[in-house]
Amino acid sequence: MNTMSKVTKTQENKSPANRLMILVILTFLFLLSPNDSFAVSLEKYLESSDTSAYTLISSSTSLLRGKLYVLNVKSQTWRGIEWNHKVGIYIPRNLAYKNHGILMVSGSAPKDPMASLSQYALVIESIGAPFVILWDVPNQPLFGLKEDALIAYTLAKYLETGEEDWPLLFPMVKAVVATMNCVQDFLKKELQIELQKFLVTGASKRGWTTYLTGAIEKRVLAIVPIVYDNLNMPAQMRKQLEHYGTFSEQIKDYTRYGLTKMIAESSPTEVPEIVRAIDPFYYKDKLTIPKLVVIGTNDPYWVVDSSQLYFYDVPIPRYAYVMPNEAHNVSNQAEFFNTLRAFFALSILNKLPDISWKETENGIILRTSEELEYAKGWVALSDTLDFRKARWESIDLQIQFSENGDKMVEFIPKESNLKKNVAIFIEVRIVKEGYSFSLTTIPKVFKKNTN
């Protein structure tokens, strides 16, 4: 039976009195030291006994002669609710990689999963690896809620009750782990393909899930989190107040429960236990696998330079792919998948690009030993520190050579631009192992001259 049809609970009353009571409870729990607060652990939740299972729903052959399968996967029973997922598997005709695949975490399943999977046929054939799409992360609606509203509700319920399995990110991660189990079993039995490692990717809440999965699951080869630019939550919330004067409207569901205020007011030594449990920043020492962070410059959820608060703290290998004039999505999927394809292959080959940069008082200097096709500087101007509606423009940058033969690219904004706030980043086109793809620096903001 479909999970959503079984859930009949409704959203709790959100009268002003109830909201005030929730805020009082959150404030009290925030004041507790980590040793006194409820012990909540993603690892502990994943270790809890639960049996995953799957059934084959349909199979087909693409126009490009790839093999397509759709499974129904039961990942777990969370708080009495059975979680079921549609899972699409595409095996390309020319299978270059039999032990490594890509797992894309997605939201609610489409009406025709097979047709949706088929849309990726050209991309998957060019990658040459098993490609898995996990839908229904999270299962929704639950309690009459979806997406951020549902996640925020479960975090508030944890803080209200102390029941450790409430945070929705926990079953979301477990859904990914269970799907790995089921896909490995299915491919081994049906096609004698022994899949061992996965590149995991997903956007927004699924990008959040991607980070957490990469920190705790040994079968993850690499991660590509998309438009989840929110690691180091306490600093992120304070930065939103600095740049916007308030929290982003896009995270209003968390603000409604007092969560953003609680997080913003936490000190580095008294970060709430729940934040440490769900914020990938506090798993950073475990994020040693290759990481490609995908960011939209005009993402209304975050601040333009949110990545400054975590990127350099995350262990290498780490790379950035910043999409200019992009909001909370990926419009240019051809370019994105081109970089994803290269990142996947180079992660397997252990030949990731040699690229680094440093930020100076007036610009960015990038260095690489790789072959470059071109270099661009991207720039946006704003009267305020709010760049959400700013227009990004590119200029060609000169590629110089250092004494040891490395390529150097420097981008310094024009002095005349500094009459406004300026945001910049560098894009380079790298050629390596037969792949041509783009990588970038993370955005840097230079505040306008007030003299």
The 10s digit of each residue's pLDDT in 83-92 is 999 999 999 9
Query: Are 133 and 87 within 8 A, CB to CB?
Result: yes
Has domain 356-446 been given CATH number 2.60.40?
yes
State mean pLDDT over 244-271: 96
Say if residue 378's pLDDT is above 70. Answer: yes
Give the tens place of pLDDT for each residue, 120-158: 999 999 999 999 999 999 999 999 999 999 999 999 999
Please name the residue that has the structure tokens 């909370």. Answer: 328
Parallel, antiparallel, or unpaired: how do β-strands 67-78 and 100-105 relate?
unpaired
How far apart, in Å, are the Cα atoms of 13 and each of 19, 23, 153, 306?
9, 15, 12, 34
Domain ranges of the chain: 3-354, 356-446
pLDDT mean across residues, the chain = 92
Q: What are the tens digits of pLDDT across the range 161-183?
A: 999 999 999 999 999 999 999 99
Contact 355, 367 (CB under 8 A): yes
Cα–Cα distance between 363 and 425 in angstroms, integer?
9
* Whether residue 21 has pLDDT greater than 80: no
The residue behind tokens 């489409």 is 110
How far out from the chain centre does Cα 44 lie? 22
Integer Rg of the chain from CA:
23
Pick the CATH number of 3-354 from 3.50.50.60, 3.10.180.10, 3.30.230.10, 3.40.50.1820: 3.40.50.1820
pLDDT at 18 over 60: no
pTM of the model: 0.91
Residue 56 predicted with pLDDT over 90: yes
Map residue 81 onto helix, strand or coil: strand
Where does the pLDDT of residue 11 fall: very low under 50, low under 70, confident under 90, or very high at 90 and above?
very low
- Confidence (pLDDT) at 28: 46
